[in-house]
């Protein structure tokens, strides 16, 4: 059976399960993975292994794995990548909300920008955080702050969420040192400096268009400000009514968010420098790991909550139980989406696209965008889509083959990775469950906006490639 047909069937199973039958997302995603796995023949698995350049022993091991084992591997790999981050971020978020720290940050933000400009401030903040930090972590860090802001103006809550997404998601795919753009730059022989400059230029254009869509959509919908596991609306309202003297200081409130950002960014910067003091490098190698950095940030957050409870450790039991419960639900859904995406990859869809796109008689930039978008939609990960597409289009980056700087090809591949984020994407479920959106609302507010941003990036990149084919 064709990989395309298998993927279409899998998508239908998941969408019908979640949107029509109203099954729990975990069950729908695992059923989708099971159906796709049953339809994937051993010959397709061999093609997938060849496309991944697996050794004969690795290929044999893959073919000997049962479908259950392959689903479990996809589930477990996703947990390994993001599970601990979700737990720590959930605890940090709970501490920020229950200690009044999120309220302090929001009040300071509003004093500087004003409520009318709050969406722009959120977009620029997440845009900046998305450069050194994995985008899911940006969401996990910022959603508690957005919820503290949303309790003041529930009518604009969806706008605030979309503003956060519009900023963080685009730098994740366009600006090094996140994995996708740095791989694209190296594979296409683009200097990191050029990739960063062009990624920032196209990225801010895409984010601005995404924010315009957010304003437009928010006027035409009215999403209620809902309770989420571990987050009480009454508690948020209680803090918003308190005097500023009862809140933690702005500096202490910001530390749980700022410290992980500094540590992760420090690891990235020192790793890219040729001459770094060994002690400094060793420090950031240890503390700049995202999990360790989040542990340290969580420690600062716990201190804020302990102070709120007059350092009575037993008083932390209930809020931490609520935070862990909330994290467990998100991890299960996210890992199930990872399992579904992993099984979709094993249909050899990447190889199939590589073999068929050569027949498309269209320009290289829109073709690269389309192929990346198809891979992203099929298997869920923006980074995997970029890496796969770059591998397919590296052959075009030969002397005389391109009439423009290869940075434009790298940027277009990054923009294509924004289309189309749905149920097989971990970020989709982080936003859906931590914001309180339904699946349909998440598609309209997240997935459609990302698609618009991606197409915007394609259009502006093609324009710049025409006007400034060799800008550097």
Residue-by-residue pLDDT tens, the chain, 472 positions: 888 888 889 878 887 887 788 787 788 889 989 999 999 999 999 988 887 788 889 889 999 999 999 999 989 987 887 788 778 877 887 888 788 787 787 778 777 877 788 899 889 888 877 775 667 777 877 888 788 888 888 899 999 999 999 998 998 889 876 667 877 887 788 887 788 889 999 999 999 999 999 999 999 999 988 877 666 666 666 766 677 777 888 888 888 878 887 887 788 678 767 677 788 888 988 988 878 988 998 999 899 989 888 888 888 888 888 888 878 877 887 788 778 878 887 888 767 766 665 544 447 899 889 888 987 887 677 877 887 677 667 656 655 557 788 899 999 999 999 988 888 787 888 888 888 899 999 999 999 999 999 999 999 999 999 898 886 5
Q: CA 294 to CA 257: how far, in whole Å?
A: 9
**Quick check: 436 and 227 in contact, CB under 8 A?**
yes
Please give the angle made by the CA atoms of 268, 120 and 124, to the nearest 5 degrees: 10
Answer whether residue 398 is part of any domain: no
pLDDT on residue 375: 78
- 10 Å Cβ neighbour count for 112? 10
Q: Are 253 and 101 in contact (CB under 8 A)?
A: yes
Tokens 């600006």 correspond to 175
The C-alpha atoms of residue 91 and residue 296 are separated, in whole angstroms, by 12
The residues, ordered by sequence, that sit 6+ positions from 68 with a Cβ below 8 Å of its Cβ are none
| Residues 6 or more apart in contact with residue 93 via CB below 8 angstroms | 102, 140, 141, 143, 144, 230, 231, 323, 434
User: How far apart, in whole angstroms, are the C-alpha atoms of residue 398 and residue 426?
Assistant: 35
In a domain, 275, yes or no: yes
For residue 165, being part of any structural domain is answered with yes
In angstroms, rounded to a whole number, what is the distance separating the alpha carbons of residues 82 and 179?
15
Q: Is residue 381 domain-resident?
A: no
Q: Is residue 44 part of a domain?
A: no
Q: Which of 329, 118, 150 is nearest to 233 (CA)?
A: 150
| Cβ contact 218:437 at 8 Å | no
Contact 296, 259 (CB under 8 A): yes
| Domain of residue 112, residue span | 81-176+193-330
Asked whether the CA dihedral 372, 374, 375, 376 is positive or negative, the reply is positive
pLDDT (0 to 100) of residue 361 = 41
Inter-CA distances, 229 with 1, 152, 434, Å = 42, 20, 8
Spell 321-336 as b/e; 16+ CB within 10 A means b.
ebbeebbebbbbbbbb
Is residue 376 domain-resident? no
- Find, among 472, 463, 378, 467, the residue nearest to 416 by Cα: 378
Specify the pLDDT at position 362: 47
Which ranges constitute the DSSP H helices of 401-468?
407-416, 426-435, 439-442, 448-467
Q: 129 near 175, Cβ under 8 Å?
A: no
Residue 283 domain flag: yes
Residues in the chain: 472
Cis bond upstream, residue 190 (ω within 30): no
- Can you give the C-alpha Rg of the chain in angstroms? 22
Q: How many Å apart are CA 464 and CA 32, to the nearest integer?
A: 41
Q: Classify residue 114 as left (phi > 0), alpha (psi -120 to 50) or beta.
A: left
How many domains, in total, are found in the chain? 1
- Is 30 a member of any domain? no
CA distance 121 to 115: 10
The contacts found for 218-222 with CB under 8 angstroms, 24 or more apart, are 218/155, 218/156, 218/158, 218/159, 218/162, 221/158, 221/441, 221/444, 222/155
- DSSP 8-class letter at 20: I
Residue whose C-alpha is closest to residue 319's, from 329, 304, 333, 335:
304
- Which tokens in the block code for residue 304? 């804020």
| Burial grade of 202 (CB within 10 A; 0-12, 13-18, 19 or more) | buried
The 10 Å Cβ neighbour count of residue 48 is 22
């Amino acid at each position: 059976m064709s990989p395309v047909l298998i993927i279409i069937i899998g998508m239908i199973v998941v969408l019908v399960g979640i949107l029509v039958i109203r099954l729990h997302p975990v069950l729908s995603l695992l059923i989708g993975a099971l159906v796709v796995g049953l339809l994937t023949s051993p010959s397709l698995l061999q093609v997938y292994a060849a496309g991944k350049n697996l050794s004969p022993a690795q290929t044999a091991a893959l073919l000997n794995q049962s479908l259950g084992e392959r689903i479990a591997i996809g589930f477990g790999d996703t947990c390994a990548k993001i599970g601990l981050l979700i737990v720590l971020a959930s605890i940090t978020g709970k501490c920020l909300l229950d200690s009044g720290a999120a309220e302090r940050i929001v009040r300071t933000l509003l004093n500087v920008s004003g409520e009318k400009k709050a969406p722009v401030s959120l977009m620029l903040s997440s845009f900046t955080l998305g450069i050194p930090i994995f985008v899911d972590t940006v969401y996990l860090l910022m959603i508690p702050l957005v919820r503290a802001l949303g309790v003041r103006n529930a009518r604009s809550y969806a706008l605030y969420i979309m503003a956060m997404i519009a900023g963080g998601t685009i730098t994740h795919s366009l600006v090094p040192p996140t994995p996708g753009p740095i791989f694209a730059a190296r594979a296409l022989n683009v200097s990191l400096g050029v990739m960063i400059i062009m990624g920032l230029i196209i990225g801010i254009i895409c984010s601005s268009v995404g924010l315009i869509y957010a304003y437009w959509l928010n006027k035409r919908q009215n999403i209620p400000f809902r309770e989420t596991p571990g987050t009480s609306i009454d508690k948020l309202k209680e803090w918003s009514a308190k005097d500023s003297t009862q809140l933690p200081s702005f500096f202490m409130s910001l530390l749980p968010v700022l410290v992980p950002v500094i540590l992760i960014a420090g690891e990235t910067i020192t790793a890219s420098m040729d001459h770094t003091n060994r002690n400094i490098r060793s420090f950031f190698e240890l503390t700049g790991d995202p999990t360790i950095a989040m542990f340290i940030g969580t420690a600062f957050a716990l201190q804020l909550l302990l102070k709120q409870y007059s350092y009575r450790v037993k008083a932390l039991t209930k809020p931490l139980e609520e935070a862990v419960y909330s994290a467990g639900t998100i991890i299960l859904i996210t890992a199930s989406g990872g399992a579904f995406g992993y099984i979709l990859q094993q249909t050899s869809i990447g190889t199939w696209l590589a073999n068929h796109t050569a027949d498309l008689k269209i320009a290289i930039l829109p073709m690269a965008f389309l192929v990346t978008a198809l891979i992203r939609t099929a298997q869920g990960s923006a980074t995997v889509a970029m890496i796969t597409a770059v591998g397919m289009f590296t052959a075009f980056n030969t002397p005389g083959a391109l009439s423009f700087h290869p940075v434009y090809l790298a940027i277009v591949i990054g923009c294509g990775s924004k289309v189309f984020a749905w149920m097989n994407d971990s970020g989709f479920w982080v936003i859906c469950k931590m914001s309180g959106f339904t699946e349909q609302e998440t598609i309209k507010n997240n997935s459609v906006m990302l698609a618009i941003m991606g197409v915007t990036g394609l259009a502006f990149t093609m324009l710049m490639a025409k006007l400034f084919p060799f800008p550097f």
